[in-house]
Amino acid sequence: MSRMRAPMVVGRADLPARVRIWEVGARDGLQNEKTVVSSATKVAFIDRLSAAGLPVVEATSFVRPDRVPQLADAVEVMAGITRRDGVRYPVLVPNLRGLDGAIASGVRDVAVFASATDSFAQRNLGRPMAEQMAMFAPVIEAARGHGLPVRGYVSMCFGDPWEGTVDPGQVVAVCGDLLAAGCTELSLGDTIGVATPGQVLDVVRRLLDSGVPLDAIGVHFHDTYGQALANTLAALSSGVTTVDASAGGLGGCPFAESATGNLATEDLVWMLDGLGIETGVDLEALAATSRWMAGELGRPSVSRVVQALGE
């Protein structure tokens, strides 16, 4: 029996006509890998992702090498990639030193990483949530002064492993602070993968009611409890048009036992293709890239679509 290579297309009038996929595999997907991936492999991975039609390929982080050893080669990676016209290659920067390094490497897009809970801010940033903007505001201001767009990641938007339920008001407040400081867009992170569709609808509605522009909102779901695609569909039904995903489902959450990691880009593209939503992504090329990267890492891809399409 031959396998289907593409889904049947049945659209929905209440969903966006086009979705921008923000590919995070090369940064978020690889950063927790225990075996160091060579710079050449990272460069090839990024180039293959952009060649597959992804409009945004998050490349690396300009962080201290001792904090994230996997991404210690940020300068080499940015020097090695082939920058395609119309493709964005954002990087994560934690401070002014990281921003300076990114700008020196020709980066034109940066992101900062905030928290919607005090517990995670303490563990990830070494300071309480109330003080995180003192860390980010100078970075955002300097980046905007150089004409760079700045994405504000907000982690633990839907649940926290230490605090449990997260007050949506905290999410709204942090998002408001980031936008007020100069961020041009946001990414709502379901860091431990516990969100459900109703919760997603509620948080997006609260953000819109607070005055956050719809086109500034992106979503970043983990599939720990198998809810990532359902949550994505809920976000799309609210009008959200930017969705983070990781090729082959690379990346896991160190705070959630047995976490299956990020939403796999291939699984997302299959769903969007079936809904008639444009992405510009070549699914076969993307799946081939994920199979290749899985071989480099020595394990099979967790993406259901990569598995189903086979060789």
Which sequence positions are flagged as catalytic? 253
Burial grade of 63 (CB within 10 A; 0-12, 13-18, 19 or more): buried
Give CA separation, 40 vs 52, 79, 153, 209, in Å: 18, 11, 27, 46
* Cα 268 to Cα 266: distance, rounded to the nearest angstrom: 5
Burial grade of 10 (CB within 10 A; 0-12, 13-18, 19 or more): exposed
